[in-house]
Amino acid sequence: MPNTPAAPNLKALSESEWTADKAQQYLKKGRLDVAEELLSQAVKKRKDAVGAEEAGVAEWLGQLGDVKCRLGKYQEAHECFDSAISIFEKIFYPQHYRLGPVLSNKATCYIHQGNFEAALDVCNRALDIFSKTLSGEHRLTLEATYKLATIYRQLKKPDEALKLIAKAKKNVETPLGPLEEFTFLEAMLQEDLSKPDLADKAFQETIRGLKQRHAVKRLSDCLARYADFLKKQGRDDEARRAEEQADHYRAYATTQSRSEDIFPSTLLRA
């Protein structure tokens, strides 16, 4: 007969679940400070109910780390991530899927700190886990691939970034895939490599795709970046038109309620 928590522990477990659910509601409202406090309470209550080395505790520690990172509390965030990783490694194994999201968020934290070398190692591990446990077109795999490509760009390793982008594009060349996000990054990488023809081609491909997808916020971002590129090429008239379009779509974006997620369509497959 399976072991069940004693009655007081069942009460603490129930309270922890309720508190964590409430934290998610505040996260959706953008109330990170309240969500942080509620998740901290949820972790403590769950530890009291089932012990510290448990998958649910690790999952909520990972979520708490993500919130702390978004609040700029990077050291506290890493402590949460490391605790979650340690628990998952102990109760599962180092390449288990559950570690992937925690490692990916830890990489993001390092990126916010500007520590791209540390981010590289952690993100590589996250992508390795996703590549072995998920499909190449899964949202988490694509996010980790994109993140790793941006890290390589910051580390002045454009060739490595372009290899990742080429591989990822094979998995997203469908109406459901966020192809434009990878071509946008590709455009900036080609510009970094002083290859204006390839950069221009990638920028224009991105703009066409974003228009088709009606992703006006990202379209305005891309057009603004394209305008900067055109100015550097001495194409001032084209740059002015791109800036005007960027302003138009930016204003239009304020009237829309679309998600800011740059990979929204992958939700259909995740």
SS (H, E, C) 28-97: HCCCHHHHHHHHHHHHHHHHHHHCCCCHHHHHHHHHHHHHHHHCCCHHHHHHHHHHHHHHHHHHCCCCCC
Considering the chain, what is the average pLDDT of its residues?
89
> CA torsion sign, 106 to 108 to 111 to 112?
negative
With both helix axes pointing from N to C terminus, report the angle between 139-154 and 99-113 in degrees, rounded to the nearest 10: 30
More confident: 244 or 12: 244
With both helix axes pointing from N to C terminus, report the angle between 196-213 and 216-232 in degrees, rounded to the nearest 10: 160
Residue 129 domain-assigned?
Answer: yes
Q: Of how many residues is the chain composed?
A: 270
Residue 45 domain-assigned?
Answer: yes
Residue 80 domain-assigned?
Answer: yes
Give CA–CA dist 22/246, Å, rounded: 38
Mean pLDDT on 29-58: 93
**pLDDT tens readout for residues 80-124:** 999 999 999 999 999 999 999 999 999 999 999 999 999 999 999
Share of residues in the chain with pLDDT > 70 (%): 90
**pLDDT tens readout for residues 183-199:** 999 999 999 999 999 99
Domain count, the chain: 1
Residue 125 domain-assigned?
Answer: yes
| Whether the predicted pLDDT of 146 surpasses 90 | yes
pLDDT of residue 1: 43
Quick check: pTM over 0.85? no
Mean pLDDT on 29-34: 94
Residue 75 domain-assigned?
Answer: yes
Q: What's 83's domain CATH number?
A: 1.25.40.10
pLDDT of residue 10: 83
Residue 149 domain-assigned?
Answer: no
Residue 178 domain-assigned?
Answer: no
More confident: 46 or 262: 46
Mean pLDDT on 194-211: 94
How many contiguous H segments (helices) and E segments (strands) does the chain have? 12, 0
Give CA–CA dist 17/143, Å, rounded: 28
| Whether the predicted pLDDT of 56 surpasses 50 | yes
Domain membership of residue 99 as a residue range: 16-133
Residue 96 domain-assigned?
Answer: yes
More confident: 213 or 80: 80
